[in-house]
């Protein structure tokens, strides 16, 4: 069960990774969580993948997380009369809502609320930032722009507005339908795309109603501006470097990645680093040296999880991509510099009994060289507190709730087993030692540090720390 690494791996499922055999191979290679990308594929496609993951989970007894990634309000231009045009720097280019085929003078932007939000001297980025337009004049239903960076522009390319907060909900009608489907089939996490403001998360929470945990994708400058408030309202974060790197200068993304990871770690919320981590492995069996360094950097920074997108969803080497990511993570976590960085970024516990017990558990585990820290939890909060401490010892989380076990697959260093709650201290120690041994985390003679809440079965009440010795069978 134990991966012998702390960082988790999220692998996106798609055409290259939908069969039960391929999904099994991805788990064996190191995948902990599977992402369902609702920007692609039908509900029937995703349902086949959900059933395959749950069947494998039942067979192996290992909790496997499912993350539903909603498409969000992706803005696109309309179509051109001839399929594409060539734009030259300095020329005027009109955007309107008329719906007529475009040409070199202009094209439809079928989002009235976007046009209404534009102001003179603001920029629009088209086709992943390859084309840059600057707004000159805004009128009712149309805007005139100047081409700042030209090039070939074809039908229905994406639009990014780095300087504008658009009055759009983060949940489109398609997202609402996808969300209802995902929740009905028991996904564990919902990723909200293109979060602009805290209210986007409040809206999503009202719809989810506790049936899944909520992950906020940070990919817009407006989200970075209110990052602290967003962190309070979500259960996890994702550094979505694709659109973030379009809407902000590319050279700013590495610093933002570190800032977002540190902010999430301080709050004790899982954080995922995503996009183009092993991009060359879509077509090649080995990554570039720069990609290896990129993955390693995320692990050194203490990210809870690292993610593969097209590499595992549609690439030629999905299993090799997961295995490569696993190997990089293991190597980094064996590096003496890794522990130094983890300890340098250590956060002070909050002034609560639960945080005090969890911080003490880390210190005691290091002092006695414990084989593992064992936490009992209902909601998962105790395990997340333990993960925030980034202990040297692995974390074994025991929970009676399979939903909690699945959600914790995204958390750094947490190994989760579904087990009945303890009924008294003797039962607590017996279960902890037996399951630590069965999970391969401890052997006879090892010490464990065990935390729990008394009375047993009461969520959010960690108030006991015990040292237990693993006896021979």
pLDDT tens digit sequence for 246-259: 989 999 999 999 99
Q: Which residues contact 297 (CB under 8 A, 6 or more apart)?
A: 254
pTM of the shown model: 0.93
Note the pLDDT of residue 468.
94
Give one word for 369, left, alpha or beta, with left for phi > 0 and alpha for psi -120 to 50.
left
User: What number is the average pLDDT over the span 283-296?
Assistant: 98
| Percent of the chain predicted with pLDDT > 90 | 85
Which fold is adopted by the domain 353-469? Pyruvate Kinase; Chain: A, domain 1 (3.40.1380)
- Residue written as token pair 């840059």: 132
Pairing of strands 142-149, 92-96: antiparallel
Domain(s) of CATH 2.40.33.10: residues in the chain = 84-160
Q: What pLDDT score does 227 carry?
A: 97
CATH of 8-73+170-333, one of 3.40.630.30, 3.20.20.60, 3.20.20.80, 3.40.50.2000: 3.20.20.60
Residue 35, classed as helix, strand or coil, is strand
Query: 10 Å Cβ neighbour count for 212?
Result: 23
Q: What is the pLDDT of residues 169-190, one digit of tens each?
A: 889 999 999 999 999 999 999 9
Residues 6+ apart with CB under 8 A from 59: none
Please identify which residue in the block is written with the tokens 């403001």: 197
What pLDDT does 214 receive? 98
**Would you say 189 and 225 are in contact if contact means Cβ atoms under 8 Å apart?**
no
Candidates 432, 265, 445; CA nearest to 361 is 432
Name the residue among 357, 352, 427, 436 with its Cα closest to residue 395: 436
Per the DSSP assignment, residues forming a β-bridge with 87 are 151
Give the three-state DSSP class for 431: helix
- The Cα–Cα gap between 265 and 271 comes to 8
Angle value at C-alpha 37, between 83 and 183, nearest 5 degrees: 130
Element (H, E) at 272: strand 271-274
Q: For the chain, give every residue range classified as CATH 3.20.20.60.
A: 8-73+170-333
**Catalytic site positions:** 35, 76, 217, 275
Separation in Å, CA 299 to CA 191, 286, 294, 324, 372: 21, 19, 9, 14, 21
How does 326-349 read in b/e, with b if 16+ C-beta sit within 10 Å? bebbbebbeeeebeeebeeeeeeb
Burial class (CB in 10 A: 0-12, 13-18, 19+), 258: middle
Residue 88: what pLDDT?
Answer: 97
Please check whether residue 137 is in contact with residue 92, taking contact to mean a CB–CB distance below 8 angstroms: no
Task: Scan for tokens 């069996």, then name that residue.
Answer: 285
**Greatest pairwise CA separation for the chain in angstroms:** 80
CATH level 3 topology of 84-160: M1 Pyruvate Kinase; Domain 3 (2.40.33)
Closest CA to 3 of 279, 391, 325, 239: 325
pLDDT given for residue 471 in this prediction: 85
The one-character DSSP state at 4 is S
Enumerate the CATH 3.40.1380.20 domain ranges in the chain, comma separated: 353-469
| Whole-angstrom distance, CA of residue 81 vs CA of residue 65 | 45
pLDDT bucket at 217, cuts 50 / 70 / 90? very high
pLDDT digits (tens, 9 = 90+) for 13-30: 999 999 999 999 999 999
Tokens (6 digits) for 437:
């041994």
- Whether the pLDDT of residue 347 is over 80: the answer is no
Note the pLDDT tens digit of each residue in 401-450.
Answer: 999 999 999 999 999 999 988 888 889 899 999 999 998 999 999 999 99
What pLDDT band is residue 460 in, cutting at 50, 70 and 90? low
Render pLDDT for 195-211 as a digit per residue (tens, 0 to 9): 999 999 999 999 999 99
How many whole angstroms separate alpha carbon 289 and alpha carbon 23?
A: 27
Query: Cα separation of 412 and 306, whole Å?
Result: 11
Residues pairing with 133 in the sheet: 124, 147
């Amino acid at each position: 069960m134990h991966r012998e690494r702390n960082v988790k791996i999220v692998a996106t499922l798609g055409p290259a990774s939908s069969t039960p055999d391929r999904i099994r191979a991805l788990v064996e290679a190191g995948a902990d969580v599977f992402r369902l990308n609702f920007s692609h594929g039908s509900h029937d496609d995703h349902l086949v993948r959900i059933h395959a993951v749950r069947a494998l989970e039942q067979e192996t007894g290992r909790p496997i997380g499912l993350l539903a990634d909603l498409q969000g309000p992706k803005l696109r231009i309309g179509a051109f009369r001839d399929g594409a045009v060539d734009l030259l720097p300095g020329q005027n280019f009109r955007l309107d809502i008329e719906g007529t085929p475009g040409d070199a003078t202009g094209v439809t932007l079928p989002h009235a609320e976007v046009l209404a939000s534009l102001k003179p001297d603001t920029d629009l980025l088209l086709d992943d930032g390859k084309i840059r337009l600057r707004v000159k004049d805004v009128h009712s239903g149309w805007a005139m722009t100047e081409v700042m960076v030209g090039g070939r522009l074809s039908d229905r390319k994406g639009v990014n507005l780095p300087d504008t907060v658009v009055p759009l909900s983060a949940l489109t009608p398609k997202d609402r339908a996808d969300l209802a489907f995902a929740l009905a089939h028991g996904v564990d996490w919902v990723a909200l795309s293109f979060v602009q403001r805290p209210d986007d998360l409040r809206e999503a929470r009202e719809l989810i109603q506790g049936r899944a945990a909520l992950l906020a994708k940070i990919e817009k400058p407006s989200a970075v501006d209110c990052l602290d408030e967003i962190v309070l309202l979500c259960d996890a974060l994702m550094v979505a470097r694709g659109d973030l790197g379009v809407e902000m200068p590319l050279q700013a993304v590495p610093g933002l990645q570190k800032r977002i990871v540190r902010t999430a770690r301080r709050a004790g919320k899982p954080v995922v680093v995503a996009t183009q981590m092993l991009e060359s492995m879509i077509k090649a069996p080995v990554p570039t040296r720069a990609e290896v360094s990129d993955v390693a950097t995320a692990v050194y920074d203490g990210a809870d999880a690292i993610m593969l997108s097209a590499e595992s969803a549609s690439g030629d080497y999905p299993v090799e991509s997961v295995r490569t990511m696993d190997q990089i993570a293991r190597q980094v976590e064996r590096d003496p510099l890794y522990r130094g960085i983890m300890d340098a970024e250590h956060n002070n516990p909050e002034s609560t009994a639960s945080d005090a017990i969890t911080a003490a558990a880390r210190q005691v585990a290091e002092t006695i060289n414990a084989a593992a820290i064992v936490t009992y939890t209902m909601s998962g909060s105790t395990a997340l507190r333990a993960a925030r401490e980034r202990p040297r010892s692995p974390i074994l989380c025991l929970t009676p709730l399979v939903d909690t076990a699945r959600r914790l697959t995204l958390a750094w260093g947490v190994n989760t087993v579904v087990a009945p709650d303890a009924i008294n201290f003797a039962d607590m120690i017996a279960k902890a030692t037996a399951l630590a041994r069965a999970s391969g985390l401890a052997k006879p003679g090892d010490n464990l540090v065990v935390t729990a809440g008394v009375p047993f079965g009461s969520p959010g009440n960690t108030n006991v720390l015990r040292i237990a010795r693993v006896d021979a069978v």
